[in-house]
Amino acid sequence: MIGGHGTSGSCPTVDFPTLSRGNSGGIDGMLSLSDAAVLFSPHDGKLLTMSETIGCDASWHLTHSQPPLLVDYFDPGRGFAGQINGLVSRFQTVQAVCQSGEGPMRLTELRNELAFHLVKMSRWWGFDFCPLGLTGVRNPLFMSYVKAHAARSVEDESLLDLFTVQRHMHGGDPGHILVLGRDPESSGTMSILYGVDGQKSFRFTTRANGAAIAWYRHSYPDFVSAWLAAWTYHCPAGHVCANMREHLAAEREHTWARSWHRQHFHRTGGSLIVRLYLDAMSQLSACQSRFGRTEFESIVNAIAFKIVRHAVERRIAIASLLAEGSAQEMSQRVIDVIRQRARLYVGRSIDPLQRPKLEALLDQCVP
């Protein structure tokens, strides 16, 4: 829970549930400027002005919009959508205060830090990210914010270097690994360590106290895959792990979820979005692990929100939109479930600063 008793009394208590390349100015792996049109922000893809937010001032943000309060990199159980949507929202609102000229230097530094964490999260969870399409800030300017923050943090500069020019790394070397940290849930005489190698893949190892680090040879495209694999390997040696089936199912189901996370900010509409909803529902029904079900509940809820939003933007009923995308007739119950899931998404995965605006949008939908 992040308290809401700052100098700006109108700001709510914030509760996060536990559930481009070339000359575009981006970093390796980002989308180019030409791709910006297919991305969207959960807040309409526009840089918000202070009149569009709840009116939180610089002092409030300096207390409540610090990245450690918004994201927990070593606890994927907190989920993807709520953390990344919160980061996007806080970057946009802090940027709006900075542009108004009202914020102190510390707020500029916070904006730069939030920009860095958007880049870091794009690598951590593996989603497509274009600053212009998502935040409204041109890619070169956005990257200047990121670099300004990195210049003030040796640890963050090292990570940014690894994912870009690799001046400090043996470029492309899977044996040269930057240590990210220890899993806070691993304890006793055996710790789990995570790292990123010269091929920009995530790695892990289990290490006895005082022993040298010997990384497992497998590499993973995102942190969550490494985290899940690490806990599978961490089952007590010499014993049958009671949760092995759960671990293996979670690993398998996260490989399904990765493609959904990658396109989280892609704008889709019409018949395609209905097919995506049906596909995600099918995968949700196939999930056997708690982690997989939680991931896909969030994914399905996000698509349900996009369906409702698209129907409102086109000023058509949800039933009409569903009829465009599916040969089978959808019952009123299906429509009601989609509306409920859209509200769950706003309630669980959208920054409270933006919820009133999106709840008002949901109120406009016609079944």
Split at pLDDT 50, 70, 90, the class of 25 is very low
DSSP 67-97: HHHH--TT-GGG-SHHHHHHHHHHHHHHHHH
Q: The pTM is what?
A: 0.84
Residue 21, pLDDT above cutoff 90: no
First to last CA, the chain: 34
Averaged confidence pLDDT in the chain: 84
How many CA atoms, within 13 angstroms, populate the side-chain half-sphere of residue 265? 30
What are the backbone angles phi and psi of residue 195, rounded to the nearest 5°?
A: -155, 175
Quote the tokens at residue 341: 């899931």
For 113-131, the pLDDT digits (tens) are: 999 999 999 999 999 999 9
Determine the pLDDT at residue 102: 75
Residues 49 and 99: beta-carbon distance below 8 Å: no
Split at pLDDT 50, 70, 90, the class of 208 is confident
For 343-360, the pLDDT digits (tens) are: 999 999 999 999 999 999
For 250-295, the pLDDT digits (tens) are: 999 999 999 999 999 998 877 899 999 999 999 999 999 999 999 9
Determine the pLDDT at residue 141: 98
3-state secondary structure of 314: helix
3-state secondary structure of 153: coil
